[in-house]
Amino acid sequence: MHNNFLKKYYFIDKFDKNHLEKLDNKVHIIYRNYKKVYNLKLLEILRDFCKKRNFKFYLSNNIRLALKLNINGVYLPSFNKSLTHNCYKFRKNFDILGSAHNKQELNIKINQNVKNIFIAPVFKKKARKLGIHGFLKLRKTTAKNLIVLGGVKKSNINMIRFLKAEGYAAIGYFKKKGPLK
């Protein structure tokens, strides 16, 4: 499988136009900002920029605002366990993404009708790392698309293919040398 077939998700917390213009247009942008109130004007500018560059754009943890802004979808972090969004009527191309760290959280994301589930941490060097074996165990329990999150580097892209992941998500990887044009 070629690298271009892997979906690539980039978590950002600010809009840096110069940096984003250097990225491959196959990268999907997830804007997450857990510390501040969302700036509606900034989100509109970011949405318009992403449409112009053919980036898919997702907003973290705010379904109503994502629907209002008419963006590609929403990202539900692992701590969001709410099922109330299942009563919304979504347009056809609105995707729900989410993250999980274990089997219990994976089941919650499945009940939330998440399309792509980010499994973390796979490669990150933490005491609580899920690791490759943990990822493979979760892979056996669902037919959902799984995305590798945590510790992604150029040197482990082939391992992501081996894990039969749909793609990968990162922050540092894109800031350093990530998928450029």
- Which domains does the chain show, CATH number per domain? 3-176 (3.20.20.70)
Q: Are 176 and 153 in contact (CB under 8 A)?
A: no
Collapsed DSSP state (helix, strand, coil) of residue 60: strand
Q: What is the reported pLDDT for 162?
A: 87
Q: What is the reported pLDDT for 178?
A: 55
Helices first, then strands: H and E counts in the chain: 7, 8
Confidence bin at 25 (pLDDT 50/70/90): confident
Provide the mean pLDDT of the chain: 86
Amino acid making up residue 105: E
pLDDT at 4 over 60: no
Sign of CA dihedral 51, 47, 4, 137: negative
Q: What is the reported pLDDT for 1?
A: 40
Q: What is the reported pLDDT for 2?
A: 45
Q: What is the reported pLDDT for 35?
A: 77
H helix or E strand, kind and range, residue 106? helix 103-111
Amino acid making up residue 163: L
pLDDT at 90 over 80: no
pLDDT at 87 over 60: yes
pTM above 0.85? yes
Q: Tell me the backbone φ, ψ of residue 39, rounded to 5 degrees.
A: -90, 105
Q: What is the reported pLDDT for 133?
A: 84
**Higher-pLDDT residue of 86, 2:** 86
Q: What is the mean pLDDT of residues 113-141?
A: 83
